[in-house]
Chains A and B, each alone.
Chain A
């Protein structure tokens, strides 16, 4: 069985993520520091919280984070995905900086947060998207969107008045702006795809 860790910022609900991963056959530890005393096949940065407090609770520099992770698959969900980037309009802290680009607030012309079910438009093949049909539904709750330097890392988008990058992949880092653990069967498939990467 694959053993993965969910990093807990201390802010909120990781119950459903843990539950979904366990249903998919993983052993899941919830951890509150990345000190390298234990090893996992995969790491998840969950979706609930605020940028600066979450970065503070990780408490690692870019170099230290890369050293900790090495080539381990990491799935960032919502805020977790936003933390992959360099800066965010939600906070002052530097992000984990494993992907080039920034995080910007959604335009005021739309209701913020973008909350509810939206379609995924698949742009290019990706490991997380294996077996996912174009137009599949995903559950979003977010006020910010990512703006990668290179569009090449975006594998799926959603339309919310603006183009919202929904899935990004670069090397061993995978991000979803939506919540796969809340996105029915498509979400379940994506978590299984991630666990598959963790067993490689």
Chain B
């Protein structure tokens, strides 16, 4: 055997509750984060990701106690992101039980923080989250892709998908790797919440541009979407929310399904 593909339930947390949105909007309640974390950990989740989805936009800090409670009930790796802008923010998260820190807007605003975090905590702790969206205004300095006869590039968005940056996703991915990121959490804003499947074009191209692990996120509506993203790219992990929050297979059921289709998973 060798390294398995990781299946990662994501808890998007707002005001202490797990929520689920469509294209980063229209949010509905999905439960208590501590209970869900324990459930997913027991069901065989390979990791958990906890995102405070309003933290950056509203300048609100992560609810430390909640991170602490979640960390106490699980025995798998745990990434926490949302509103991380400083070494102090990252330290707070790690000291309260997270294993990795997710950083997105804070890294775009101040890329040097990635290197500072890496030096202090080690590369493996630093997950740079990249929110990507197609931009159809062609600019020759960007990496151009064609799909259904339309040309576009992938643009980095910040503040929970609300603000564009003009930064090319492929260039940014390479940049964060050289700055010291240990892993990339890649979310497709175009696909997020649609349940149409992962953005395989985006995922494959980011995976092929870097040598650090990449987690695919956004658009998963069924286990076949995971089969698809693992079949079309060398992505390391698939993150999903609604198929775990609202589905009836459970994490283990989803992983059994993947194993039957030849995806190496931990069961």
Residue of A whose beta carbon sits closest to that of B4: A117
Q: What mask results when residues 208 to 235 of chain B are scored 1 for a CB within 8 Å of chain A, else 0?
A: 0001110000000000000000000000
Q: Indicate if the CB atoms of B76 and A139 lie closer than 8 Å.
A: yes
Residues of A within 8 A of B122 (CB): 11-12, 48-50, 79
- The number of chain A residues with a CB under 8 A from chain B is 39
Q: Is B190 an interface residue (CB 8 A)?
A: no
Known: A11-B121, A116-B236, A135-B1. A182 touches B76 (CB 8 A): yes
A42 to chain B, nearest CB (A): 20
Please report the C-alpha to C-alpha distance between residue A28 and residue B159 in the assembled complex, in whole angstroms. 40
Q: Is the CB of B213 within 8 A of A137?
A: no
A117 to B120, CA, bound (A): 25
* Interface positions of A from 103 to 137, Cβ below 8 Å from B: 108, 111-119, 135, 137
Q: Which of B5, B71, B94, B99 has the most CB of A within 10 A?
A: B99
A45 to B237, alpha carbons, bound, how many Å? 29
CB closest residue in chain B, given A109: B211
**A182 CA / B1 CA spacing, docked (Å):** 20
Contacts of B211 in A (CB 8 A): 108, 111-112
| Binary flags per residue of B196-214, CB closer than 8 Å to A gives 1, else 0 | 0000000000000001110
Chain A residues closer than 8 Å to B182, beta-carbon distance: 113, 115, 141
Q: Is B138 among interface residues, defined by CB-CB distance under 8 A?
A: no
Cβ-neighbour of A142 out of B72, B119, B124, B125 (below 8 A): B124
User: How close is A116's CB to chain B, nearest CB, in angstroms?
Assistant: 5
Question: Cβ of B53 < 8 Å from any Cβ of A?
Answer: no
Q: Which of B6, B75, B236 contacts A20 (CB 8 A)?
A: B75
Knowing A16-B99, A20-B75, A182-B99, the reply to whether A115 touches B94 (Cβ < 8 A) is no
Interface segment, one of A62-70, A148-156, A183-191: A183-191
> CB-CB contacts of A155-166 with B at 8 A, as 1s and 0s?
000011100000
A13 touches B119 (CB 8 A): no
Kindly provide the distance from the CB of A7 to the nearest chain B CB, expressed in whole angstroms: 16
Q: Write the chain A residue with the least CB distance to B207.
A: A111
Closest approach, in angstroms, between the C-beta of A189 and any C-beta of chain B? 11
Residue A57, interface by CB 8 Å:
no
The listed residue (B1, B75, B123) touching A181 by CB distance below 8 A is B75
Q: A111-B213, A159-B1, A160-B2 are contacts. A13–B99 as well, Cβ < 8 Å?
A: yes
How far in angstroms is the closest Cβ of chain A from B43? 11
B124 pairs with A117, CB closer than 8 A: no
User: Which residues of A have CB within 8 Å of B2?
Assistant: 118, 159-161
Contact of B95 with A by CB under 8 A? yes
Residue among A119, A141, A143 with the most chain B CB within 10 A?
Answer: A141
Assess whether B125 is in contact with A48, with CB atoms less than 8 Å apart.
yes
Cross-chain contact B75 with A13 (CB below 8 angstroms)? no
Would you list 26 pairs from A and B whose C-beta atoms are within 8 A, ordered by A residue?
A: A11-B120, A12-B121, A12-B125, A13-B95, A13-B99, A15-B68, A15-B71, A15-B96, A16-B75, A19-B71, A50-B122, A111-B211, A113-B182, A115-B182, A116-B3, A116-B213, A117-B6, A117-B266, A118-B1, A118-B3, A135-B1, A159-B1, A160-B2, A161-B2, A182-B99, A183-B75
* Chain A residues close to B by CB (< 8 Å): 11-13, 15-16, 19-20, 48-50, 79, 108, 111-119, 135, 137, 139-143, 159-161, 179, 181-185, 187-188
Chain B contact residues, CB within 8 Å of chain A? 1-6, 46, 68, 71-72, 75-78, 94-99, 119-125, 182-183, 211-213, 236-237, 266
* 8 nearest CB pairs, A to B: A15-B97, A141-B124, A117-B266, A119-B1, A13-B94, A12-B121, A137-B266, A117-B4
